[in-house]
Amino acid sequence: MRQPSYLHFNADDYPWKPDIDYRKHPGQYRVGKGEQGVLICEPYKSEIGAYWRFRTAAIASESSAAIFSMFIDYLAKGDFVGADMARKYLQMGYTRARRYANYRGGKKYDRTNDYAQFERGTGDPEKAEAARVFYKSWKAAEVNILYASMKKKWKHERG
């Protein structure tokens, strides 16, 4: 049985640290997989997270538009870390909204039953529409030519 990854999380081994200002020290930032570091890397976490909402499709539309605009602004400033963090928030908007669409209350694992996975299809259909909104923005960010070239260079030079 698959258990949630957070059960054996080791903060010491995690490459993203909450006490680093990644704008002042961008060289310490790592791209990682998917959304890794998104809820840790300051000041971007606070800047972007203030706009991150997915309760309804209308709220998700407003949120994803604001975050995508920030993504474009970070790119224009040559701030790859900010752009990557904005991309991660767009991805997280999709994945979290999908989680709530698939599982009632967004709970995937039953802590009281050895972390067995709850039944899919019990969630909120409104969240599925919110997920679609974020998905479009996330994919638009990923195919942005400037972002893609910056990401490739960053990963080659820094990881």
pLDDT score at 84 = 98
C-beta of residue 130 within 8 angstroms of C-beta of residue 60: yes
Q: What is the mean pLDDT of residues 70-96?
A: 98
Dihedrals phi, psi of 107, to nearest 5 degrees = -90, 120
SS3 68: helix
Give per-residue pLDDT as tens, 88-146: 999 999 999 998 898 887 788 878 888 887 777 777 889 999 999 999 999 999 999 99
> Amino acid identity of 108?
K
Cα angle, residue 54 at apex, residues 43 and 36 outer, rounded to 5°: 45
> What angle, 0 to 180 degrees and rounded to 10, lies between the N-to-C axes of helices 80-102 and 145-157?
100
61: its two tokens: 């539309």
37: its two tokens: 């570091």
C-beta of residue 22 within 8 angstroms of C-beta of residue 41: yes
Provide the residue ranges of all domains of the chain, joining segments of one domain with +.
56-159
- The verdict on pTM exceeding 0.85 is yes
**Element at 109 (helix H, strand E):** strand 109-110
Q: What is the mean pLDDT of residues 46-73?
A: 97
DSSP 42: B
pLDDT score at 1 = 57
